[in-house]
Structure 1
């Protein structure tokens, strides 16, 4: 009976898939959560994942907006079961994925999982190729809310077709599952990904470093600044429900605090998914404060959904500008140099017209109040030039809020 029931559901899903679109209304702001790979790689198990769910709550991460807890590679058993269903490694996850998902949900979080478009995952476990609808139904039965879908062992496979198939399979389950395409930007997914997925990787894997020197004899991860450079010309492809993904966060994994702060600030400016990758159980207070900075998170989660514009590069300082809902702006001065840099930014001399968002920043016609998002201190208004010093490998990130002209507040006499 079990086999007949599954067969019926399988063919029902396939029949409805031709008309299926991705689930509406998902990821209208960039997804926020935690992923196991950057710190733990294959060293994951049920106990640790439950502890991480607990830590997401106790640390304030959940309340700050992080809700997806995602198991990356290596949760799988080396083989499928007798019905060719995916199954969890019984030693690592003795209670199975359904029970783990229930525990994650009980904490007010959402459950994310990993697989691959190829025949095997990157770590050599069963991939999804040829089992897309079957695996999608399995995920739905476990209560999965997010699927990270990698691109290893895909020789001879067309990326757009493979990801479209999995997208339709997820839609056919009628469960709201965020679809994260981890295709590394090889086939320019930003050109075709919006109808298929909620986010797509734009680069190779991130590493823990400001700049990571390429290894001529083998694969090398990308540093924070190397990834930022790859995002400059992609802003027109991002928006509510379809985001450029410059990979997960390395905050708390070994970079200095200033570089962590710059990394987090720039991911927020880029309207990037904020997927933490550190050990939440043992993070420092400095790391926690960076990851839970409500002002910076609000910039990332702004409902207008516009990725920042790199407005200017001057003496190793980049000026990035992000239009926000309601006419406000976020501005980030990123110092890529090895020494502090002075800035003197005349707001009135720099009128910004962003054709993508149809927004204008013009201090000659509109006064803005300025707040430093890392110190939460007022910095005057745009009536005067902004002067200061940005430390090495750090940022000055400010929020510009529109001020109502004083004459509007005058009482009539």
Structure 2
């Protein structure tokens, strides 16, 4: 519909889709590659004929360099014709786009440094990762480093501090920079104002990042506006949008003179979750595990107009309830199953729920629910940022819906251990025990991160040969959760199954010696079928896949690949398809709204709950928008994840997943995997589900009527219909 000769498509994220080539771009699909580090490799005169060739856009671990960390170089040979310069409109600069580079790079053009991102270990201040920043470097057209109509060498020195390494997640290219490339045009979802009249207000911002004026025409909705932006200038507009499914809106900026365009269309993030009732509702899981003799901490999750008053019948000896906060503390000395009843009341009414406390060897009877710092802060995490997210979890009501873990991921460790070899924090975490105490006082759990190897993924100190010391330290700090990340251990492990199990067994034994329950999250990306042995080393959860990204391709590949793992999930042990990618994410810098469409985010949350997956929010909770809050506070959806039966959903047809529930019902996810809206019909009898009576729309929290022989629903692209069948 919007056909133009040179279309520049922008999305609103720091991602490869944020950048698109202009006409006559030069693709850079391959490079010569060598591990190691020599200064002469930056020079165009160096003879790299004996180097191996690799594909750009793919990590080197996929190309015969599995397990390698440290410095490596790419040398890309390319002829840059002057016709490329002549084809541009602005004729100011050449753009060299290198996609993502993990983790630090220095990039040279014919021996001249044209850009550097991050800091190498030898730099002043030491190693600073900039994963997953996009590398795009600009070179003035009159710079003698460019050899027009001749061969050029783009040499990239890359330092990988752990995990995957190299140029990846995109297709590098060269083109001419244009003025439109300096435009940031955004419609931020966290600034949407939802009204009570079924309408919402969406702001649109346009910002010129370049030191040169830009003029043109901006079209949005049914408006056309002449725009003149000075250097670094900004303008804002407002769109009125219906708050309902199926609405999309767009902008299109056309630069005067060149005709180049910046165009974007996005689906409106509509709200399905009904408002929370003023009457109390108890949202806690119905069963909780603790080991005898360990400190007990549990916050009853309940909604309703404040203040709420809490009471528990048959609370076992050794435990005490704060009737104003709903926080249970104490110690249970004896094994046993304690049947209690929770009561919550306020001025509008009361709620009651049975609650079983099981004192024994099993922890995590239901999957963990909480927040992890990595997907938003990466290694730039700090105590201040963690505390800010914890406050938001409380202030925005997430804790009232069952979210309770606050987990500090990589980046908290000091560069050296103490004199007694104990692990210590860096300056960003001046008092880790105080942070843990602050969280516990508010009923929240405290998580931390380490690696079985010498270094973590971010290049910080791991726990190799210091497992018992670190476990004691964690227990002393009041830690309730440990994410133990494979990373640099791959350079130590032998290739046998036992070689992969060994480091996790060592830390298991160290944790077991502590007088504290610490949830053990095994993070090693599904290597050696971890789901088959993770339970043997006391893992309460184990990662089954590589890291997730905020794209449909990543989420679809990871989430829908779990259908063969049902037998390995259950109370106390869970398959973990990685953290959630809703809200503002960024992995350290330049946070951006998730690139998943609203419908894809509904699919994401629905699928993770059907899978009985650990639910760890990865966004900045302090900047949580209304749409994301809606996704994370639907109690009927979350109850599917927290169902005490602990069953993982099974794929029963191409589009349908079914999960058994403790009350005898079934949770059913009907997914549209296509890129266009589809009408999908489900025959209940053919799936063996025809003995149920009521169909309930879980997201909208409303009954759809009596079960018929089949169910037909029009579902958005990459969308879902999440229902419950009730007997």
SS at match of 2:578: coil
Query: What residue in structure 1 maps to residue 452 of structure 2?
Result: 117
Distance 2:395 2:500 in 1: 40
| Mapping for residues 251-290 of structure 1, pairs under 5 Å | 251-253=582-584, 254=594, 255-290=596-631
Query: What residue in structure 2 maps to residue 85 of structure 1?
Result: 422
SS at match of 1:326: coil
Q: Give, in angstroms, the shift of residue 377 of structure 1.
A: 2.1
2:504 pairs, out of 163, 166, 170, with 163
TM-score calculated relative to the size of structure 1: 0.83
TM-score calculated relative to the size of structure 2: 0.48
Query: What residue in structure 1 maps to residue 546 of structure 2?
Result: 204
Distance 1:116 1:375 in 2: 42
Greater fraction of residues in helix: 1
SS at match of 1:114: strand
Larger Rg: 2
> Is contact 1:341–1:392 with CA below 8 Å preserved after alignment?
yes
Name structure 2 gaps, 5 residues minimum: 1-359, 494-498, 585-593
Distance 2:466 2:561 in 1: 33
Distance 1:168 1:343 in 2: 50
Q: Give, in angstroms, the shift of residue 147 of structure 1.
A: 0.2
Distance 1:113 1:349 in 2: 47
> Is contact 2:373–2:618 with CA below 8 Å preserved after alignment?
yes
Distance 1:293 1:286 in 2: 11
Q: Give, in angstroms, the shift of residue 305 of structure 1.
A: 0.6
Distance 2:534 2:458 in 1: 25
**After superposition, what is the alpha-carbon deviation per residue over 1:172-203, rounded to whole angstroms, capped at 9, x for unaligned?**
10210000000111121111111321000000
Q: Give, in angstroms, the shift of residue 297 of structure 1.
A: 0.5
Q: Give, in angstroms, the shift of residue 131 of structure 1.
A: 0.6
Query: What residue in structure 2 maps to residue 175 of structure 1?
Result: 516
Query: What residue in structure 2 maps to residue 246 of structure 1?
Result: 577
Q: Give, in angstroms, the shift of residue 252 of structure 1.
A: 1.2
Q: Give, in angstroms, the shift of residue 145 of structure 1.
A: 0.2
Q: Give, in angstroms, the shift of residue 395 of structure 1.
A: 0.3
| Mapping for residues 118-133 of structure 1, pairs under 5 Å | 118-133=453-468
Higher mean C-alpha deviation, range 382-391 or range 64-73:
382-391
Q: Give, in angstroms, the shift of residue 393 of structure 1.
A: 1.1
> Is contact 2:692–2:725 with CA below 8 Å preserved after alignment?
no
Query: What residue in structure 2 maps to residue 99 of structure 1?
Result: 434
> Is contact 2:453–2:492 with CA below 8 Å preserved after alignment?
no
1:187 pairs, out of 489, 514, 528, with 528
Q: Give, in angstroms, the shift of residue 343 of structure 1.
A: 1.5
Aligned length: 351
Higher mean C-alpha deviation, range 42-51 or range 328-337:
42-51
Distance 1:312 1:143 in 2: 45
Query: What residue in structure 2 maps to residue 230 of structure 1?
Result: 561
| Mapping for residues 357-368 of structure 1, pairs under 5 Å | 361=689, 363=690, 366-368=691-693
Query: What residue in structure 2 maps to residue 374 of structure 1?
Result: 699
> Is contact 1:252–1:260 with CA below 8 Å preserved after alignment?
no
**After superposition, what is the alpha-carbon deviation per residue over 1:191-229, rounded to whole angstroms, capped at 9, x for unaligned?**
111132100000010001101xxxxxxxxxxx1101023
**After superposition, what is the alpha-carbon deviation per residue over 1:38-78, rounded to whole angstroms, capped at 9, x for unaligned?**
01101111111111110011111111111110000001111
Query: What residue in structure 2 maps to residue 354 of structure 1?
Result: none
Higher relative contact order (CA 8 A, sep 6+): 1
Query: What residue in structure 1 maps to residue 659 of structure 2?
Result: 322
Distance 2:693 2:375 in 1: 39
> Is contact 2:652–2:687 with CA below 8 Å preserved after alignment?
no
Q: Give, in angstroms, the shift of residue 300 of structure 1.
A: 0.5
**After superposition, what is the alpha-carbon deviation per residue over 1:235-260, rounded to whole angstroms, capped at 9, x for unaligned?**
11110000000000001131222111
Distance 1:105 1:260 in 2: 31
Distance 2:692 2:439 in 1: 46
